[in-house]
């Protein structure tokens, strides 16, 4: 913490809340004004306040996607570097970029960065991001399972002024919009983010009018320094040592071999080093990670384990990274990265696995670990418009030291939503025949892993272009401390001729014809602790609610349930306590 600087705790707390309110309002504007459902309904967007000198994140909103906030400070820093080469920012400038090697994530995540001025002084940096439903490239929607280089995935935008001193650069905007599908949506989404930045700047000026620019700036530094201190103290409680763990992405959609993520997590005093140098080399297919996205993934995983630390640039200062470009988690241009989310999930998994050795009392079992994005595109048979719709799959979180894993949860990247059935059927010529909890998919444990989700779509038109980009069919979400793995993913196409799977199951493209069905089964989360230690009453409740099949109660938990036929012909289940006690005793004795 910087010597000689002190902000009283009341002012610090109020300013912190004020900054978060600025970001919350920015997020709300983006959601309400965006044209495409991936932002307006699925909430695939983010906003933040960043330090004017370092570019570190200072404040994020309550519902901002964490992957954006941890990665977006790299985008802010890239924009700051670009502006410096042009002679510096000027009032009214807004920079646009999506280069994932500079700013993390992937091409559809278009970021805008704007300085907030008072006179000639930059008081803060604001940034916001919205996922564009299309960014050009070979596959509608930007998730390109067939890509072998990034240029097949869409337009690369290096940091460049979209607004110069308040004047929009129409030539640049036209160049971008003319090269994407559904251009009217892209214009609307872009304007939503611009409006959010402009309103955010106004709200920030309101804050400094009340507390003064110097006080708010001091709060920036104080908040980041306090988070750094907090994180260092928590790391200091972990026994020094090297904690190793590995997991794998099933394949890259081109080569039928797993891609291994090997982590050696080194704890030394109050610092932590994430060493990925023994991971697999860059992939031919689009599951590579830019280095900065790998860093952001580590930060997200640690936030799951230490949720009490306020997220800002300070809490990440005690971390060091060894991520060579010779690995697929540190890939450089021009390796394809549109399916980066699958590898993000695996980085989070190996951090969980390593931390379960270091801090088992804090670390959850593995989560479902795949976004399982299904993209549908085509011309609507009734309205005649071209549509692109993204379907991210929900899944189960791992059991935790405190309780069962989340059922049908969003990805570890943040609080994104699945679009409503009504919205899907309005925008895309399909009927959603199933959206249900996937029975039995959570890993067994003293605290059960959450269940995945079952989706079924039936085509109501002659041709829908479908792209699938997922994972976790072969390498399953793992349990910890005796917990069992979860069920893996599956993607099945069904027609009158029978069922069909893609060559790489969770990665590929296919035309969905009239009356053909696409089914997606997402994984559950791993179990935490010995299943034989689970309360039998909770096992009975799981069976009644459809989280597990009655047969699984006996097979996985050693719990005996007896069927009871009701007068209405329906079967209910009761717990046989004596038989359960005897069965569990025999299994523990055999072990």
91-136 tens-digit pLDDT = 999 999 999 999 999 999 999 999 999 999 999 999 999 999 999 9
Q: Final residue of a domain: which of 528, 563, 578?
A: 528
- In a 10 Å sphere around its CB, with 0-12 CB exposed, 13-18 middle and 19+ buried, how is residue 58 labelled? buried
Residues 109 and 53 in one domain: yes
Rounded to whole angstroms, the Cα distance separating 514 from 512 reads 7
What is the pLDDT, as a whole number, of residue 1? 42
Rounded to whole angstroms, the Cα distance separating 298 from 70 reads 10
Residues in the chain: 591
Residues 429 and 559 in one domain: no
Is the residue at 407 inside a domain? yes
Distances in Å between the Cα of 155 and the Cα atoms of 61, 67, 109, 428 are 29, 21, 11, 25
Q: Strand 561-565 to strand 571-575: parallel, antiparallel, or no bridges (unpaired)?
A: antiparallel
The SS3 assignment for 276 reads coil
How many domains is the chain built from? 3
Least confident of 189-203, 433-447, 565-579: 565-579
Q: Which of 96, 124, 130, 91 is nearest to 112 (CA)?
A: 96
- Which domain does 384 fall in, by range? 364-528
Is the residue at 25 inside a domain? yes
Sheet of 498-500, strand order: 430-437, 453-459, 517-521, 490-495, 498-500
Is the residue at 325 inside a domain? no
Q: Which of 299, 468, 442, 454 is nearest to 367 (CA)?
A: 442
DSSP 3-state percent helix, strand, coil across the chain (nearest 5): 35, 25, 45
Mean pLDDT across 543-570? 92
What is the pLDDT, as a whole number, of residue 566? 80
Please say if the pLDDT value at position 3 is more than 80: no
Is the residue at 16 inside a domain? yes
**How would residue 5 be classed by pLDDT, with cut points 50, 70 and 90?**
low
What is the pLDDT, as a whole number, of residue 408? 87
Rounded to whole angstroms, the Cα distance separating 509 from 507 reads 7
CB within 8 A of 199, min separation 6: which ones? 25, 26, 29
Rounded to whole angstroms, the Cα distance separating 425 from 406 reads 27
**How would residue 65 be classed by pLDDT, with cut points 50, 70 and 90?**
confident
Residues 371 and 468 in one domain: yes
Mean pLDDT across 36-49? 93
CB within 8 A of 430, min separation 6: which ones? 376, 424, 457, 458, 459, 460, 464
- In a 10 Å sphere around its CB, with 0-12 CB exposed, 13-18 middle and 19+ buried, how is residue 265 labelled? buried
CB 520 within 8 A of CB 455: yes
Strand partners, 129: 46, 111
Residues 510 and 430 in one domain: yes
Is the residue at 437 inside a domain? yes
What residue has token string 């719990």? Answer: 559
Rounded to whole angstroms, the Cα distance separating 569 from 574 reads 16
What is the pLDDT, as a whole number, of residue 560? 98
Q: Final residue of a domain: which of 228, 262, 283?
A: 228
Residues 430 and 555 in one domain: no
Cα pseudo-dihedral 488, 493, 497, 498, rounded to 10: 20
Strands (E), 169-294: 241-249, 259-268, 271-275
Residues 469 and 547 in one domain: no
**Backbone φ and ψ of 432, nearest 5°:** -85, 105
Rounded to whole angstroms, the Cα distance separating 215 from 132 reads 37
What is the pLDDT, as a whole number, of residue 197? 99
CB 448 within 8 A of CB 527: yes
Rounded to whole angstroms, the Cα distance separating 419 from 568 reads 37
Residues 483 and 567 in one domain: no
**How would residue 303 be classed by pLDDT, with cut points 50, 70 and 90?**
very high
Is the residue at 155 inside a domain? yes
Is the residue at 293 inside a domain? no
Is the residue at 389 inside a domain? yes
Strands (E), 69-172: 94-97, 109-118, 121-131, 160-164, 167-168
Considering the chain, what is the average pLDDT of its residues?
Answer: 95
Residues 169 and 215 in one domain: yes
Residues 410 and 377 in one domain: yes
Residues 418 and 565 in one domain: no
Residues 548 and 472 in one domain: no
Q: Final residue of a domain: which of 228, 255, 289?
A: 228
Mean pLDDT across 206-227? 96
Q: Which of 552, 539, 591 is nearest to 440 (CA)?
A: 552
Residues 53 and 105 in one domain: yes
């Amino acid at each position: 913490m910087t010597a000689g600087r002190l902000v009283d705790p009341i002012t610090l707390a109020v300013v912190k809340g004020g900054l978060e309110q600025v970001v919350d309002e920015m997020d709300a504007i983006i959601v309400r004004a965006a044209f495409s459902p991936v932002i307006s309904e699925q909430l695939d967007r983010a906003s933040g306040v960043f330090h004017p000198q370092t570019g570190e994140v200072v404040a994020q909103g309550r519902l901002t996607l964490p992957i954006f906030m941890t990665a977006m400070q790299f985008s802010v820093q890239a924009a700051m570097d670009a502006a410096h080469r042009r002679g510096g920012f000027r009032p009214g400038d807004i920079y646009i970029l999506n280069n994932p090697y500079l700013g993390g994530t992937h091409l559809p995540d278009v970021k805008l960065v704007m300085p907030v001025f008072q006179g000639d002084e930059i008081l803060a940096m604001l940034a916001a991001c919205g996922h564009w439903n299309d960014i050009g490239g070979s596959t509608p929607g930007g998730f390109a399972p067939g890509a072998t280089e990034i240029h097949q995935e869409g337009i690369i935008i290096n940091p460049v002024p979209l607004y110069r001193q308040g004047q929009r650069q129409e030539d640049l905007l036209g160049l971008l919009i003319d090269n994407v599908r559904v251009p009217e949506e892209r214009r609307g989404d872009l304007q939503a983010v611009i409006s959010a930045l402009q309103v955010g700047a106004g709200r920030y000026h309101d804050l400094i009018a009340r507390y003064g620019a110097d006080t708010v700036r001091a709060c920036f530094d104080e908040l980041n320094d306090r988070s750094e201190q907090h994180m260092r103290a928590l790391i200091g409680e972990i026994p020094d040592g090297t904690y190793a763990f590995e997991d794998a992405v099933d394949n890259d959609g081109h080569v039928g071999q797993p891609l291994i993520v090997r982590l050696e997590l080194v704890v030394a005093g109050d610092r932590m080093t994430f060493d990925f140098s023994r991971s697999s080399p860059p992939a031919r297919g689009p599951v590579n990670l830019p280095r900065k996205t790998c860093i952001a993934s580590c930060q997200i995983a640690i936030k799951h384990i230490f949720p009490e630390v306020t997220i800002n640039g300070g809490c990440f200062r005690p971390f060091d990274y060894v991520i060579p470009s010779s690995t697929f988690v540190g890939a450089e241009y021009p390796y394809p990265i549109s399916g980066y989310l699958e590898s993000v999930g695996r980085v989070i998994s190996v951090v969980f696995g390593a931390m379960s050795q270091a801090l088992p009392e804090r670390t959850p079992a593995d989560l479902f670990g795949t976004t399982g994005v299904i993209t549908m595109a085509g011309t609507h048979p009734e309205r005649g418009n071209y549509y692109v719709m993204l379907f991210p799959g929900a899944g189960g979180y791992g059991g935790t030291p405190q309780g069962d894993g989340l059922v049908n949860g969003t990805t570890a990247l943040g609080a994104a939503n699945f679009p409503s059935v009504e919205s899907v059927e309005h925008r895309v010529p399909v009927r959603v025949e199933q959206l249900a909890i996937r029975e039995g998919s959570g890993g067994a444990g003293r605290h059960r892993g959450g269940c995945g989700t079952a989706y079924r779509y039936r085509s109501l038109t002659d041709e829908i272009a479908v792209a699938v980009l997922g994972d976790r069919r072969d390498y399953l979400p793992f349990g910890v401390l005796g917990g069992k793995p979860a069920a893996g993913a599956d993607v099945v196409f069904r027609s009158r001729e029978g069922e069909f799977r893609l060559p790489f199951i969770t990665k590929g493209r296919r035309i969905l014809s009239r009356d053909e069905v696409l089914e997606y089964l997402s994984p559950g989360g791993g179990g935490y602790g010995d299943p034989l230690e689970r309360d039998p009453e909770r096992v009975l409740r799981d069976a009644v609610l459809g989280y597990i099949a009655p047969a699984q109660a006996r097979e996985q938990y050693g719990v005996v349930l007896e069927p009871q036929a009701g007068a209405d012909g329906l079967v209910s289940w009761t717990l046989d306590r004596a038989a359960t006690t005897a069965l569990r005793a025999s299994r523990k004795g055999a072990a």
